[in-house]
Amino acid sequence: MSSPASTPSRRRGSKRGRGSNPSTRKSQDARSPPSQKRRTDDSTSTGELQPMPTSPPADLQSPAGPDALFSSPPQFQHSAIPLDFDISSPLTYGTPSSRVEGTPRSGVRGTPVRQRPDLGSVRKARQVDLHSDGPAEDITTEQSLGQKLVIWGTDVNVASCKEKFQRFLQRFIDPVGKEDEDIGLDLNEPRYMQRLEEINMIGEPFLNVNCDHLRSFDENLYRQLICYPQEVIPTFDMAANEIFFDRYPDSILEHQIQVRPYNALKTRNMRSLNPEDIDQLITISGMVIRSSQLIPEMQEAFFKCQVCAFTTRVEIDRGRIAEPSVCKNCNTVHSMALIHNRSMFSDKQMVKLQESPEDMPAGQTPHTVALFAHNDLVDKVQPGDRVNVTGIYRAVPIRVNPRVSSVKSVYKTHIDVIHYRKTDSKRLHGVDEETEQKIFTEERVGMLKELSKKIDIYDRLSSALAPSIYEHEDIKKGILLQLFGGSRKDFTHTGRGNFRAEINILLCGDPGTSKSQLLQYVYNLVPRGQYTSGRGSSAVGLTAYVTKDPETRQLVLQTGALVLSDNGICCIDEFDKMNESTRSVLHEVMEQQTLSIAKAGIICQLNARTSILAAANPIESQWNPKKTTIENIQLPHTLLSRFDLIFLMLDPRDEAYDRRLARHLISLYYQTEEKMEEEYMDMAVLRDYIAYARSYVNPRLSEEAGQTLIEAVTKEMFEEALRALADDDFLTVTGKTVRLL
């Protein structure tokens, strides 16, 4: 037992180490100011990198602004006493008493833990007690210890955060249930407890949490989620797993449940993203224009000493590997070698998100932002999809030279994706979405089936299509058939490939006959639609062009409008003003529905299963009745034969027609809100009807109908075609026409 006289000298001799004598530590704490104690504790040498705050330091220094929701945490004047263990992110999925070094490889009840590269650093953040000036001996129980812990650099109390989120999962009830995911849920029961039951049944360990629900339940917890997502989301993971495995102890999952928040209130336009949003949870919307191939990203590096064969693991912090400089076993300098096949990797994908055309200010070019998706989010979206992305806004420095460690003061930004959401209430549902079967309730399906039994169903659906456009009923019916599509036939086993099931339509006529309005209506309706003009389009803009990837410096293909509208409709206005070289690329797309590319050493064949809806004016801007159809349109015969329906939209130049048209146009300006709502409901029914038919209905031609078509083709259509061919006034009928029918 040491004497009191020897204690001060012993303390001075071991100032930079953590003493093992409790009396020594107590004496030091009693005689040192708080700032000196903090410096002494922060300078402990543990052989690891010192933890850094994961949120911007400005948040802790700036005064509270007018928006209290995103205000900085209060500054505490008490001293910070670090503890020997932590339960912060990344999640250990265990109790605070399990003092293991590094991230454990298994979690509660044997379910494996999966690291979350979307949250960035996998190192544990230091936890401190901000409510006590006394020594650490007064903390006796584990429960009281957890109540006083907060993550360093934040105001997040781990135990309180976990308790609040568990209470949210167990008690939150959404009586409205407006989302598609709410279909089939009991609105009088806790919403997320039913979601956990679905996870137990389906086996997909992902829990999507609406941030709007969390904000209405606990506004302070929501603020912590937005400001400190890297620390709060792993705590949410811990809370969700504890509830799940307590309720379903025999459940077996691929890995432990990961919470994925979405619909953050801090939804921003790409143009308004600024340094204040760095390391915070944001939600942006846009259209995917490019996705890279799968990139393996190292999550845990495995090092082996070349002298004594000592091995150690080092976790990666946002792409930076803290290579051990000294072997802990033999103390040899620079003897650790990286072993790649023993390291841990995760899947990574770079996605380019472009600003949606409807969100762009007038006279501006679209902005783009880089997204990085990891693991299960890889290949969840394809080019052409319109998505809402929730993730963490990141900033990384730009290197002066890839071979030099020095960096510039300019930073480049990206978003680590946490959640994708493909939603657009005004558009058709995509036929390839995994949640397609969850969209329709039993009542909605029953209503659609009752509607299909109506005798005048064809007229009802066509009247719901573009109701603001006067007349043109036959043209609307043709576009309606294009939206439904046909039955896809597969003849690959015979070597003939697939026959296209999409219809191509050409609208040709006088100016001012609503051709462009019809194209805009269809473009706003379909989920993967693209709108382009013939004068401003080029061949590479429609197909694909070769560009250099700024990340890998390799040549990659940037897809054009035809590929982006795969499984959709490509609307081309001013088709007659498109040059010949641009129109020539449409031949393969309109018939084989593929796009062959051979550029810069890249040889591939892309899918372009799209329908073409084109609008063109006559060669003299006005339809000349003295000329034939071919002379008025002035398009190549090979291209015209690929259009299945060609409509002439002519101005009748009749006084009675002009009076009816003027009355209809004027009525649009004094319509009541009830009538507008009624038209919107008709639009919703049309959207659901087409989506249900494309997903679940596969019609087949009966023998009687086939015989009728054969007789019609042989007796009437060929005779009319031969007569028209002799007069050079009509198009020939080929086998494409028979397949169309």
Q: What are 355-376's pLDDT values in tens digits?
A: 877 777 766 778 888 898 888 8
> Cβ of 326: how many Cβ atoms within 10 Å?
14
- Cβ contacts of 312 within 8 Å, gap of 6 or more: 302, 303, 324, 328, 336
- Which residue, chain included where needed, has tokens 């023998």? 703
Identify the band that residue 302 occupies on the pLDDT scale cut at 50, 70 and 90.
very high
Give the dihedral of Cα atoms 466, 471, 474, 479; nearest 10 deg.
-20
- pLDDT of 79 over the 60 cut: no
CA angle 355, 361, 367 (to 5 degrees): 30
- Cβ contacts of 115 within 8 Å, gap of 6 or more: 90, 103, 122, 299, 300, 344, 346
Which tops the pLDDT comparison, 546 or 58? 546
Q: What is the mean pLDDT of residues 554-567?
A: 76
- pLDDT of 265 over the 50 cut: yes
DSSP one-letter string for 677-692: HHHHHHHHHHHHHHHH
Question: Above pLDDT 70, what percent of the chain?
Answer: 63
- Cβ contacts of 48 within 8 Å, gap of 6 or more: 123, 322
- pLDDT of 247 over the 80 cut: yes
Nearest to 551 by CA among 385, 407, 371, 394: 371
Greatest CA span in the chain, whole angstroms? 122
Q: Is 187 helix (H, G, I), strand (E, B) or coil?
A: coil
Q: Would you say 665 and 657 are in contact if contact means Cβ atoms under 8 Å apart? A: no
Over the stretch 128-149, which tens digit does the pLDDT of each residue have?
A: 555 544 444 443 444 454 556 6
pLDDT value at position 303? 92
pLDDT value at position 192? 82
Lookup: tokens for 15: 């100032």
Cα–chain-centroid distance for residue 679?
Answer: 31
Please state the φ and ψ torsions of residue 288, each to the nearest 5 degrees.
Answer: -75, 125
Identify the band that residue 673 occupies on the pLDDT scale cut at 50, 70 and 90.
low
Give the residues across from 287 on adjacent strands: 354, 386
Domains and CATH numbers, the chain: 1-30 (no CATH), 32-262 (3.30.1640.10), 270-421 (2.40.50.140), 436-700 (3.40.50.300), 701-741 (no CATH)
- pLDDT of 58 over the 70 cut: no
Highest mean pLDDT among 105-119, 186-200, 275-289, 569-583: 275-289
Under DSSP, the state recorded for 576 is G
Mean pLDDT value across the chain = 70
Over the stretch 412-456, which tens digit does the pLDDT of each residue have?
A: 888 889 988 876 544 554 444 444 444 566 777 788 888 878 887
**pTM exceeds 0.75:** no
Over the stretch 597-621, which tens digit does the pLDDT of each residue have?
A: 777 777 777 777 888 888 888 877 7
DSSP element (H, E) containing 311: strand 311-315
Q: What is the mean pLDDT of residues 38-65?
A: 39
Under DSSP, the state recorded for 203 is -
Give the residues across from 596 on adjacent strands: 605
Strands 497-499 and 489-491 turn out to be antiparallel
Q: What is the mean pLDDT of residues 56-75?
A: 41
Give me the half-sphere count of Cα atoms (radius 13 Å) on the Cβ side of residue 135: 13
> Cβ of 387: how many Cβ atoms within 10 Å?
24
User: How far apart, in whole angstroms, are the C-alpha atoms of residue 242 and residue 648?
Assistant: 66
Give the residues across from 497 on adjacent strands: 491
pLDDT value at position 641? 79
The 3-class secondary structure across 233-295, one letter per residue, is: HHHHHHHHHHHHHHHCCCCCCCCCCEEEEECCCCECCHHHCCHHHCCCEEEEEEEEEEECCCE
Q: Would you say 515 and 649 are in contact if contact means Cβ atoms under 8 Å apart? A: yes
Nearest to 389 by CA among 354, 432, 346: 354
**β strands within 478-554, DSSP E:** 489-491, 497-499, 505-509, 530-533, 544-548
Q: Would you say 136 and 83 are in contact if contact means Cβ atoms under 8 Å apart? A: yes
Strands 505-509 and 602-607 turn out to be unpaired
Lookup: tokens for 183: 């279909």
Q: What's the helix, strand, coil split of the chain in %, to 5?
A: 35, 20, 40
Q: What is the mean pLDDT of residues 391-413?
A: 77
User: How far apart, in whole angstroms, are the C-alpha atoms of residue 57 and residue 415?
Assistant: 20
Q: Is 137 helix (H, G, I), strand (E, B) or coil?
A: helix
**β strands within 336-406, DSSP E:** 336-338, 344-354, 368-374, 386-399
**β strands within 326-469, DSSP E:** 336-338, 344-354, 368-374, 386-399, 407-421
